[in-house]
């Protein structure tokens, strides 16, 4: 992310790649928003598939950039920048990235995209619930609703992980064919 401010911002191939991947993630956010949700706040989180693919393909730093850009650009498109919803996105994405960073230590031989996706999903909803419980509604006991959110995270995490695994393999087959 080096840019010279004197003349013109130099755009590297890496920047283009980041922008392309973030745009892909943002478009998946739109798909997410268009899908009917059984519960307010429960979404499949399809954009996280992009984060997983980028993590495995380009490494953690790129994944963090794509995730961050996705949250900011997405919020600008949805008109939610700096709103409470945006705070939830930021906290969820940050917690996901944190656990993904830690989960890199897991041996890839045994732990595939499903593991990463499930971990990320649980941390995502966990951070969001923590923000709501500790910051927004400290007087409301959210705990009885946690099983529902956890179940939604599990389903979304597994589904996204299976999809990401397929896409990674497809990429792998295409590259080696």
Contact residues toward other proteins (CB under 8 A) are: 106-107, 109-115, 118-119, 122, 141, 143-144, 146-147, 150-151, 153-154, 157-158, 161-162, 165-166, 168-170, 172-173
What the block records as the tokens of 172 is: 């792998």
4 CB-near residues (< 8 Å, 6+ apart)? 10
Tokens of 108: 């890839």
User: Could you give the CA distance from residue 32 to residue 95 in angstroms, rounded to a whole number?
Assistant: 20
CB 13 within 8 A of CB 27: no
**Residue 116, exposed/middle/buried by CB under 10 A (0-12, 13-18, 19+)?**
buried
Q: Closer to other proteins at the Cβ: 22 or 120?
A: 120
From the CB of 105, what's the least distance to other proteins, in Å? Answer: 12
Measured CA distances, 133 to 21, 43, 128 (Å)? 33, 19, 9
Name the residue nearer to other proteins (CB basis): 83 or 145: 145
CB of 70 to other proteins, least distance (A): 24
User: Treating both helix axes as pointing N-terminal to C-terminal, what angle do 47-58 and 13-34 enclose, rounded to 10 degrees?
Assistant: 150
Give the nearer residue to other proteins in terms of CB position, either 62 or 115: 115
In this complex, which beta carbon is closest to other proteins, that of residue 73 or of residue 168? 168
Dist. CA 23–CA 11, nearest whole Å = 16
Nearer to other proteins, 73 or 162 (CB): 162
Tokens 């995270």 sit on residue: 153
Minimum Å distance from CB 11 to other proteins? 35
Q: At closest approach, how far in Å is the CB of 119 from other proteins? A: 7
Instruction: Give the shortest CB-154-to-other proteins separation in angstroms.
Output: 5
């Amino acid at each position: 992310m080096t840019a010279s401010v004197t003349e013109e911002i130099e755009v590297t191939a890496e920047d283009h790649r980041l922008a392309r991947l973030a745009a892909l993630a943002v478009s998946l956010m739109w798909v997410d928003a268009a899908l009917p949700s059984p519960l307010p706040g429960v979404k499949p989180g399809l954009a996280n598939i992009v984060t997983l693919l980028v993590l495995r393909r380009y490494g953690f730093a790129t994944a963090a950039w794509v995730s961050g850009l996705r949250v900011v650009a997405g919020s600008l498109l949805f008109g939610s920048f700096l709103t409470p919803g945006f705070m939830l996105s930021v906290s969820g994405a940050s917690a996901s990235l944190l656990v993904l960073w830690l989960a890199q230590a897991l041996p890839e031989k045994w732990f595939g995209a499903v593991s990463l996706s499930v971990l990320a999903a649980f941390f995502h909803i966990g951070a969001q619930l923590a923000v709501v419980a500790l910051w927004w509604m400290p007087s409301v006991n959210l705990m009885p609703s946690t099983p529902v959110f956890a179940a939604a995270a599990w389903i979304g995490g597994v589904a996204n992980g299976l999809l990401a695994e397929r896409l990674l393999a497809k990429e792998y087959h295409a590259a080696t064919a």
